[in-house]
Structure 1
Amino acid sequence: MQLKPEILVKKNGIIVNTCACIVIYMTIASMAETRSNDPKGPMYVLCPYIQTISSIQSTYMEEEGDRLWEVSCKDTYSYKHIMSCYTTPHVNCFKESTTFICPFNSIISGMQSYFSESEKDRRWRFTCCHQVYFCLQDCVWTAYKNNPEKAFKYNLQKDMYLSGLKSYYDKATKDRRWKFMLCKKRSC
């Protein structure tokens, strides 16, 4: 069954603590997948409760000078414990390199961005989720997974979780290259 994460969140409610920027949301689903944005439009993906990102796919749209993004989610945590989530402020400036790693042994469960026509680039925010009694270990950076102006799809292995992203802006093509930090999860 394929479900759109943002619709599930709206149907089941979102509780936002604006002081701590903590988002707690509840949804029951086994898999979520969505096309996350229109060319030059905002992107917003938030995996359902207890899930984190399992794959990222992106297609470069040459005429628009932007990318379409599609994200899938997988079950990651247990319903036995409360999960806390944090959405970052923007982690990059236009046309600048960025390295982002979720703090506190947390895993990426959401991605947001907006496109600037004048800059021909996106600014990014990420939602990181954590559950007590789980820690990350054996974290590694992948090689770059895309070439400028080329499509890519990256599926995480079943026992690996997305904890960070690194990208740089290629000024010649006005596109970004991406690599990912992957970690294993263990009880702690």
Structure 2
Amino acid sequence: MSLLSITSFLTLLTLASACDNDHDGFLKKECPPNDSIYEIQSLHDDHFEDRIWDWRCQPSGFEFESCSWSGDMNQFDEVLSFECNNGVVTGVESTNSDNYEDRIWNFKCCTKPNLCYSECGVSAPANEYDGPLSYLVDPGYFLTGADSVHSNHYEDRVWKFRTCKITAC
């Protein structure tokens, strides 16, 4: 077994016990109060042309004062480009369409006054089409957004994630 297939197998085992959705099913993950998403795992299945997801939360160190959902951030088969407006991602919601073999995404962002954002950036692609996705936010940074591009050929998305350092001002 190659290293990639061993990694995929171990990721599958982890996702099988902790996934936030079934193939073709509704996905909703909300972190507990004052937590934020710090790790994302996903596997694509060519039979379902869909992914199972595991969005993981950890304490943020901040007491958020306001949270809101973004609303739909993409259309089926279209580019997704999202960033919290001075906030961090604390939840995700997604609806699948078997007709389009794609998902529409909605993000929950939380914030509080007097937070300063610095050293913001966008990750390298976290996956290849049809490949496993594994992304861990760097220590000291917070997930602030996501970008993805859909391929009708692969019926999948390639993802990049936005992060920033956040400190009290």
Q: TM-score, normalised by structure 1?
A: 0.78
Q: Cα distance 1:84–1:186, how it changes in 2: closer, same or farther (>3 A)?
A: same
Q: How many residues are matched?
A: 153
1:94-123 alpha-carbon deviations (Å, 9 max, x no partner): 0001211101x1000000001001010000
Report the identity percentage: 30
Determine whether 1:59 maps to 2:66. Answer: no
1:99 pairs, out of 78, 81, 101, with: 81
Structure 1 alignment gaps of length 5 or more: 1-32
Q: What SS class does the counterpart of residue 124 from structure 2 fall into?
A: coil
Spell out the pairing of 1:1-188 with structure 2 (5 A cutoff).
34-79=18-63, 82-103=64-85, 105-188=86-169
Letter in 1 for 2:79: S
Q: What SS class does the counterpart of residue 39 from structure 1 fall into?
A: coil
1:74-113 alpha-carbon deviations (Å, 9 max, x no partner): 111334xx5210101100000001211101x100000000
Q: Which runs of 4+ in 1 moved over 4 A?
A: none
1:124-171 alpha-carbon deviations (Å, 9 max, x no partner): 000000022222111011111100001121111221111011111012
Q: TM-score, normalised by structure 2?
A: 0.87
Letter in 2 for 1:37: N
Q: In 2, are the aligned partners of 1:34 and 1:71 still within 8 Å (CA)? A: no
> Which structure has the higher relative contact order (CA within 8 Å, separation 6+)?
2
Letter in 1 for 2:54: E
Alpha-carbon separation, structure 2, partners of 1:63 and 1:174: 11
Deviation at 1:35, TM superposition (A): 1.4
Deviation at 1:34, TM superposition (A): 4.2
Alpha-carbon separation, structure 2, partners of 1:74 and 1:34: 15
Structure 2 alignment gaps of length 5 or more: 1-16
Alpha-carbon separation, structure 1, partners of 2:149 and 2:53: 17
The structure where helix makes up a greater share of residues is 2
